Amino acid sequence: MEAETRKNVVRRFNKEVIEEGRRASFLELMDESFVNRSAPDGAPNGPESIWNTFEKVLRPALGGLKVEIHEQLCDGDRVVTRKCISGTHTGSLMGLAATDMPVVIDVIDIVRVHGGRYVEHLGINTLTAVLSQLRAG
């Protein structure tokens, strides 16, 4: 699989799964063996851990959720994506009541793509800093 094809898989995941919440696309793009290396210790780290992050945490909390990809690099079967997830804080976010403030979460993901599907994820983001800013008002 070529680098551009792998990058397209990641772009499609960000648009169709994260931004639009399409379950069918999620099932198509996630391998059953998927491992989320960013899951907290002791927490589930399979495919549903990623789905739950978006469908139970971010999508209910952020009205008008959008994903903007700033940069992508591909090395072998790994795609590194620098992006931001944004929206308006219109619902509870990790126990914090809605503030109606704009939210921008910066993210760097490393996704291993095999056979057109996600098989592994490792990422860092600024969600903790965003929560601190929302609490400060």
Query: Using one digit for the tens of pLDDT, what is the confidence trace for 76-85?
Result: 999 999 999 9
As a whole number of Å, the CA-based R_g of the chain is 15
Contacts of residue 14, defined as CB under 8 A and 6 or more positions apart, other chains included, come to 67, 69, 81, 83
Q: pTM, whole model, 2 decimals?
A: 0.94
Secondary structure element (H or E) that encloses residue 31, with its range? strand 30-36
Closest CA to 125 of 103, 108, 102, 100: 108
Alpha-carbon gap, residue 125 to 92, rounded angstroms: 19
Alpha-carbon gap, residue 73 to 110, rounded angstroms: 9
Class of the 3-136 domain?
alpha beta
Sign (positive or negative) of CA dihedral 81, 101, 66, 18: positive
pLDDT digits (tens, 9 = 90+) for 93-124: 999 999 999 999 999 999 999 999 999 999 99
